[in-house]
Amino acid sequence: HKIFFWLLLNDRINTRALLQRKGFFLQDYTCVMCNLHALETRDHLFFHCQFAQLCWSYICTNWQPAYTGIQEEISNLKQLLSVPYAMEIIILTCWAIWTTRNDHIFQHIQPSIYRCRKKLKEELK
């Protein structure tokens, strides 16, 4: 999880935007998790996507995306969670969003908030 999160912080997770920058051809570079038809960037997928926002609202009911960058989003979440293990919750929530997205793309499993919450709870155990 730490390696995944390091890659996420450094914008090295293979989102569709990163694959496009690397020259990989895909039929569509938009986010598969929402219907906004937005480019699937790291910030969009993990914080601005409708699906991600629902996942974060489960964890932190009063969180609103800042749209100022990943460091600010994480700092805001840490402050709102105000628990000693806030970073672990943030990392595992990002992991749950990522694996739910990958299940949808590679295994054609319909994404749901329930599935994402279940993944998060399993990882927290």
Could you give the CA distance from residue 121 to residue 119 in angstroms, rounded to a whole number? Answer: 6
- Reported as a single tens digit per residue, the pLDDT across 72-94 is 999 999 999 999 999 999 999 99
Beta bridge partners of 83: none
Q: Provide the pLDDT for residue 67.
A: 87
Q: Provide the pLDDT for residue 66.
A: 86
Q: Which two tokens stand for residue 20?
A: 């496009």
Q: Provide the pLDDT for residue 59.
A: 93
Q: Provide the pLDDT for residue 80.
A: 95
- Nearest 5°: phi and psi at 39? -60, 135
Point out the residues of the chain with pLDDT beneath 70.
Answer: none
